[in-house]
Structures are given as structure tokens and as C-alpha cells.
Structure 1
Amino acid sequence: MQTPAQNAQLALLLEVAGTPKPGNVDRHRDLTDLRFEHFLAGAVGAQRGLEMAQNGAAVGPSFEQAVAEMADQGGGNTQFGALLLLVPLVRAARDDLTKPVVEGVVEGTTVADAAAFYRAFEHVDVFVSDPPTELDDLDVRRGSEAIPAIEDRGLTLFDILERGVPGDDVAREWVTGFERSFAAANQLADANGALSERTASVFLSLLGDRPDTLVAKRSGEAIAAEVTDRAAALADRNAVQTDRAAVDAFADELVEHGINPGTTADVTAAGLFIALEHDILEI
């Protein structure tokens, strides 16, 4: 039986192996500066941070460690958002991987966890929106320089992420008890076909359910909504199994235009982990 940390690494590997995932790196598609093998190396690099969470370390330091070593490969940021979901899920799996337990883990984070989260931004380049002027001292891109402001305001990591809703759906998972992640796990169990196809189908379904917040930040809400509508139409007819060519064409088009639904991939990875921990996936 695999440990939670091992299942988290496996979830990262299965996520990137899911094919086709429109706009994202998969087995058949690389981005300009981000390749399939970078994701494999990132998943391996995250091991020690995930093991820290599994062994009871606090969420913030575990996340910082996972990110620091995830980023120690040529692609840089491969799985920052996914690790922000997986670390508290791994920590919760020490007791019982249920929504109430995960909620307790994230709501119990501290100011020190928030400080570690900010330090993690010094290891990797993460696309974030500019904060309101009055919150400029809390801009995550300031890294360690923002820690005095966090401490002065007594902000926990949960507080920081709560401020990211509704603009960031990784943060939204923290606030909603990982609602979509648990739903994705159930979808994976109910899907048909090889696991790579099931992963791709669930990714497409998630993308068709809500506009990807990374796409909205980078390309605008109108583009994000259009991508969601097209994904929903493909998901409704189970196109990964019934019309692979149509999904492949959609995937190629998004890559060509630099549209990367990375947040949807993060939630997919979290769903894979939950499904693995609940033993509802056969591998």
C-alpha cells in the first residue's frame, strides 16, 4: 500500500500523463519553455515536502520545501498550484481524508505558515494579478519582504488564500473544503476507459464547469468563458472517447494561442490524489 506522499507524487504524474488536456502539457504536447519531462522531474522533486506533510509537519514549511525542490528543474514552475492543494490533503490523510478534516487542516494554519508560503514565491515564477493598491505590501511577489506586513496584521495562510477568492480557484478550494477536488475524485471513479483518458475526460469536464481562473487572469474573462463553453460542449458528448480528433484539435489550438488552463489541471491532480487515497482507482 502506498503512503499519502507517494500517492500525491503519483497524482502529479498521472495528471500530466492525462492526454489530451487542452492547453496544457501532456504526453503529446509541450509548451514553448515547459516540457513533459519537466513535470516528471517536478513531481519527483516534491517528494521531501510531501513527506514532511505526511509526517505531521506544518502546511507552510511542507509546501515551501515541496516547491523549492519541485522547481529544481529546467522548466521552473510546473506544479505550484497543485502542491498548494496536495500538501494540506496529504496532511489531512494522516487522520482521515474527508472534507471536515481537510477544512480543519487549512483553517488551522498559522502566520508562520503564511510566511513560508510567501518564501515559496522566491523559488519560482508564478503568474499572479496585481493586488489593490492598499494591499501592495501583501503582494506575494515580494516574497520574504512581505513577511513583516503579514505578521503585523496577524494573517494566517488561510486568511491569505481567502483573500484570493473569487479570482483564484486554487484558493477557492481551500475556502470551500476542496469541493471540486472531491467531486473530481468521484468523476474519475465513474469515468470509463484507460486512466489517462479518464483523467483527460475529468479535466475537460472541470474546464467546462467553470472558467479557468488562470486563463481569466492571463487572457481575460471573455476568453476564459469561451474556452469553458467549448470544453463543456466536448465534455457533454464524451468526446475524449467518442471524438478524440475534436479534442486534439481543441488542445492544439489552445497551445498555439498560449491559453493554459493550469488551475483546472491543479484541481485534477487533487482529485486524482483523493481517488488514490480512497482506493477508488485501479492502476
Structure 2
Amino acid sequence: MTPRSTAQNAELALLLEVAGTPKPGNVDRERDFEDLRFEHFLAGAVGARPGLELAAEGERVGHAFERAVAGMAEQSAGNTQFGALLVLTPLVAVASEGDLTPESADRVVRATTVADAADFYRAFEHVDVAVDEPPEGLEPLDVRRGSDAIPALEERGLTLFDVMARSADADGIAAEWVGEFERVFDAGERILVDDGPVPDRASRLFVELLAEEVDTFVVTRNDRETAEEVQRRAQAVLDGEENATELAEELVAQDINPGTTADLVAGALFVALERGLVV
């Protein structure tokens, strides 16, 4: 059997993540949002592949990410996997160089440049992304300004790692960037030691991660109280007090989408695939 390339494993991780069912509040094989469907995620994963290949070939992380987002956005629903690609792109870069470890991932993201940060901002011009309002005085660095914010980035000399560090307290993906992707690597090991069909492992992992920490995307789109309630109910699923499928139906109906948790699952699946998960 011919081994898959690193970029192929990243694409497969995106596909396996959305195939996991149920994942309360997220699109999966059995649940769609009104304007965001299962097929859009499949198309987004395929479209992101060229950008992921750039990361595997040694292109700058920021540029590879921007190209992956541009490709992802070519399906008709817009943003499907922005956060997942922000996790996967540096990990693909790391894996292409050798051992995929937290230490090597930390080295790669700390080596990002101002040019990488500029590409990150350009990526916001391809899709709409839910983000918090910038702190007072930092309006020039609002990511929603896209390329218009690049002069402010350059003036301050901010690298992509610096940008992530400024958001790490409020954003779960940024926290991974500055924390050696701790949750992603831990979750990847859980995938490996679990058994059964991989999408089922992804579904179980999703609920576990959702119960462990509030989903920062829910905090941004809804509020912290809602995120804490979702966390509590995910724990209730693990305790056998609630049904995961029923919770999934309810959260989708209420438009509550724990997207950050799904992004972490995609990263975990990639780590597991790179470490020998057989599919």
C-alpha cells in the first residue's frame, strides 16, 4: 500500500472530521445548517488541498494558509474550515520536515514572520469569519480589515505568532499556537488508542473535548453562558444523562455551533494519521 502524503493526510483529516456523527452543534453526515451542508465541507476539504501541499513543500506557513483558505472558499457556502486549516497548516509544515512533535510545532510557529501575518489577514478577504471586536486602541489591527490592516502590522513588526499570542486568552485555536498544540497532540493520541470506525472515534473525541473546555467559537457567536451550558451538557452525555444525537439535533436547531472543538478534532485526526492511524 502506497503511503499517503502529508497533504493527503491533512485533507483526509478534514473529511474524517465532518464524517464523525453525531457532533453536537456541528454539520455531520446526518445534520446540516440551513446554509451550510455536509457537501460544502467535503468540497472545502478538497479545495484546501493545494494550499496544504504548499505547506508540505516548505512554503511560508502564512502563504500556504491563505492559499488553503482561498481554495476552501471556492465551494458555494463560504467558510467551512478556516479554523481547522489554521491548525493543520503549521502541523503539515512540521510533519513534512520530520517528526511531528509539540516541540517541533512550537519551533515552526515561532519562526513565522510579518509576511506570514499579512497573509493571515488576507485570508479574511476570502470568507466571513466570526471574530470578537478588537480591544480599544487596536482597531487598526482588526482582522476583518483584511489587507487594509497590513500597514499597521508592518509598523508594529507583528509576526503571525505575535498575532496569535494576542488572541490566545480568548481564542482556542490561537491558544494552541502558543501552547505547543497541547490539546491537539493529546487528542491525537486518544484517537490512536480508541478503537472502532474512525468517524465514530472522532465523534466521541468531539464530545470529550467539548466537555473539557468551553468552545470559544460559541463564546464569540453566542455568549459565555451559552458556551458553559453546552460544556455542561456535553459532560452529561459522557455521564450517560443525555443522548448525543438528541443534543446534536437541539444545538443545530438553535444555531449553536462549537466550531473550535471541531477544528481541534481535525488537527487530532491529522496527528493520528501521521502517527500510523490506519484508514
Same fold (TM > 0.5): yes
Query: What is residue 145 of structure 2 aligned with on the other side?
Result: 142
Map Cα deviations across residues 14-47 of structure 1 (whole Å, 9 max, x no partner).
Answer: 0000000000000000001000000000000001
Q: CA deviation at 1:233?
A: 2.1
- Is residue 2:222 matched to residue 1:226? no
Give the unaligned 5+ runs of structure 2: none
Look up the match of 1:115.
118
- Per-residue deviation at 1:196? 1.4
Greater alpha carbon shift after TM alignment, 181-190 vs 83-92: 181-190
Deviations 1:114-173 (A, max 9, x none): 000000000010000100120000000000000000000000000001101111000000
Aligned partners of 1:73 and 1:135: how far apart in 2? 33
The residue number in structure 2 matching 1:11 is 13
Give the match's secondary structure for 1:167.
Answer: coil
Matched to 1:173, the amino acid is E
Quote the residue 1:175 is aligned against: 178
Aligned counterparts of 2:262 and 2:86: Cα–Cα separation in 1: 12
Question: Where does residue 54 of structure 1 map in the other structure?
Answer: 56
What is the rounded CA distance, in whole Å, between the counterparts of 1:152 and 1:236 in structure 2? 51
Aligned residue pairs, count: 276
Residues 81-138 of structure 1, C-alpha deviation per residue, up to 9 Å, x if partnerless?
A: 0000000000000222001110000000000000000000000100001001200000
Q: For 2:80 and 2:221, how far apart are their aligned partners in 1? A: 17
Distance 1:235 1:53 in 2: 37
Matches within 5 A, 1:152-163: 152-163=155-166
Give the aligned partner of residue 94 of structure 1: 96
Tell me the distance in 2 between the aligned counterparts of 1:177 and 1:188.
19
Q: 2:201 aligns with which of 190, 198, 211?
A: 198
The aligned counterpart of 1:124 is 127
Say which of 232, 249, 252 aligns to 1:255.
252
- Measure the CA separation in 2 of the matches of 1:20 and 1:190: 20
Identity %: 57
Displacement after TM superposition at 1:235 (Å): 2.2
Q: Which residue of 1 aligns with 2:108?
A: 105
Amino acid at match of 1:22: P
Question: SS at 1:52's partner residue?
Answer: helix
CA–CA distance in 2 between the matches of 1:192 and 1:232? Answer: 21
List alignment gaps of at least 5 residues for structure 1.
none
Partner of 1:44: 46
Match of 1:255, SS state, is helix
Q: Is it true that 1:186 corresponds to 2:189 in the alignment? A: yes
Aligned to 2:37: 35
Which residue of 2 is the match for residue 264 of structure 1? 261
Amino acid corresponding to residue 87 of structure 1 in structure 2: T
State the Cα deviation string for residues 44-93 of structure 1 (Å, max 9, x = none). Answer: 00011000000000000000000001000111000000000000000000
In 2, Cα distance between equivalents of 1:266 and 1:220: 19
